[in-house]
Amino acid sequence: MHTQVAIIGGGVGGTVTANRLIKSLHGERRQTVDITIYETKRMHTYQPGWLYVPFSQFRPMTITRPEVRLLHEGIILKSGTEGTVTSLDTNTKTLVTADGISHRYDYLIFATGARNVPEEVAGYAEGSDHFYSEEAARALRAKLDAFEGGVIVTGVSSIPHRCPPAPLEFTFLLDDMLRKQGLREKTEIHYVYPINRVFPIESVAELAAPILEERGIQVHTFFNVDEIHPEKKLVTSLEGEELSYDLLVLTPPHQGSALAKQSGISDADGWIPTDHHTLRVKGYEDANIFAIGDSTDLPVSKSGAAAHFEGIVVAETIADELRGRAPAHTYEGRVVCFLETGRNQASILWFDYKHPPKPPKPSLFWHLDKTALNRFYWEIIPPAIA
């Protein structure tokens, strides 16, 4: 009987895991393992590209590819209703898809990502924009195209959320765009953040805060969004602060997998308790269940970079076990991501569990590096060649 490896989620984490696993298996062993990705959508999206859509730097069609074209030969893709997992039984090691079919698995990987839950903030759906989906990024682009001056409030409604640098990056790019359009002097920009600094990691906050100040962007820390009043164009915080706006761009609240929550393996917000190094789901260590990427409760950024490195560890762990070897790979919290600061400059964040980032001064070099990643993502990351 073939070993069944089921991967729920076809984003960067799920895709990298599948491709790395099939590359790591050779000869007869490869012929006895079935790797199946279950993904509702048929298209794979380069989610960091959403940041650029409101500024007309990317078109949505340029940051999507058919998922099937990104997978190595031999990987099975189930999408649509047959790829939508509706229930899971960890005792019998079976999952059921929306077409009513039950599927057996021997190994299960949750790569389900995070989801936007704007309903968690009263008034958000009617009062705030964001760029954490294609539809939202398109709508925001239209509003920026029509903007002629006023007050823009940007920032984060609550943490954690996907791509932690993105709200800062958006704010810097917004300032850049308004200056180019001659609208900056007609515009106030306010940046809000829930904790006592502008970014969770202190070294990154120390880099970003002076840039915000130098560009005339007003900062409001300890601003935990309580409610948005669309009719008044007002956002209030739990701390009692109020800000009026003409355009509000807040990162929406996020939660983890609804399936994980329904299956009882996650916490109340859908984040899956995951071993920091083995990436096995806590409480299911002997059940061959792993979690990677945004779906986990790991103390690293919810980013494609983290999912990429985690997926490689899980793939190599499963390959070792299928060969009868002790797993030789562990995840040490490795993340590499960029911080766009506008004006054709960027910094880079390298870090892991033991080493916080030491971001270099923003420069054209790192901006060009980020531009190259945006261009060559499809050839480098999903194929798991790195």
Q: Which residues contact 85 (CB under 8 A, 6 or more apart)?
A: 8, 38, 95, 96, 97, 98, 259
Three-state secondary structure of the chain: CCEEEEEECCCHHHHHHHHHHHHHCCHHHHHCEEEEEEECCCEEECHHHHHHHHHCCCCHHHHEEEHHHHCCCCEEEEEHHHHCEEEEECCCCEEEECCCCEEECCEEEECCCCEECHHHCECHHHHCECCCCHHHHHHHHHHHHHCCCEEEEEEECCCCCECCCHHHHHHHHHHHHHHHCCCHHHEEEEEECCCCCCCCCHHHHHHHHHHHHHCCCEEECCCCEEEEECCCCEEEECCCCEEECCEEEEECCEECCHHHHHHCCCCCCCCECECCCCCEECCCCCCCEEECHHHECCCCCECHHHHHHHHHHHHHHHHHHHCCCCCCCCCCCCEEEEEEEECCEEEEEEECCCCCCCCCCCEHHHHHHHHHHHHHHHHHCCCCCC
Identify the pLDDT of residue 283: 94
This prediction's pTM: 0.96
Residue among 383, 382, 385, 384 nearest 11 (CA): 382
Identify the pLDDT of residue 384: 77
Q: Which residues contact 189 (CB under 8 A, 6 or more apart)?
A: 152, 153, 154, 171, 174, 175, 178, 216, 217, 218
**Domains of the chain in sequence order:** 3-114+256-334 (3.50.50.60), 118-253 (3.50.50.60)
Identify the pLDDT of residue 159: 95
Identify the pLDDT of residue 30: 72
CA distance 201 to 321: 36
pLDDT beneath 70: ranges in the chain? 27-29, 386
Whether the link from the prior residue into 160 is cis, omega within 30° of 0, is yes
CA distance 121 to 255: 13
Identify the pLDDT of residue 258: 93
